[in-house]
Amino acid sequence: MSMFDYFVEYGTRKQRQGSPQVEQASSIRLQAARAIGGCLRHHREVYGLVQIPRYLLEAVNNSCLVLITDLSNEESQGYFRETCLYLVAMKRRLSSVKEMIEKIECLVGVGTFSIAVGLTQLDVCEPSSPG
């Protein structure tokens, strides 16, 4: 996902507009963000959100920013919700996460972010029970 930003930023304007390579890179980036969202959902269901490895922060934040571009898609909305839950849980331990959340709130609106997190507030610290 980070390479996509480099690709778009340093490509010429003509190459970026309507380029099949840019379209393909965008699609791959969205697929990667959804895959990360799916992994986060599985991790949350199994382990909860109490102990989240610090090394996941960049992947979670980047995935959240990518998923913002596809919030009209229901599947992407679910994965966006997962990334938001992780950011809120990590905010308790890492001060840099507050700025990330504020950036996301500016992009989607505080209400959208709050709804994404608030719908499952009970699940934030507890893994779901099997069944």
- Find, among 52, 45, 49, the residue nearest to 125 by Cα: 49
Per residue in 39-77, pLDDT (tens digit) is: 999 999 999 988 888 999 999 999 999 999 999 999 999
Split at pLDDT 50, 70, 90, the class of 13 is low
Other C-beta atoms closer than 10 Å to the C-beta of 87 total 23
The amino acid sitting at 56 is: L
Per residue in 26-37, pLDDT (tens digit) is: 899 999 999 999
Split at pLDDT 50, 70, 90, the class of 11 is low
Q: Higher model confidence: residue 130 or residue 62?
A: 62
Q: What is the pTM of this model?
A: 0.76
The C-alpha atoms of residue 128 and residue 131 are separated, in whole angstroms, by 9
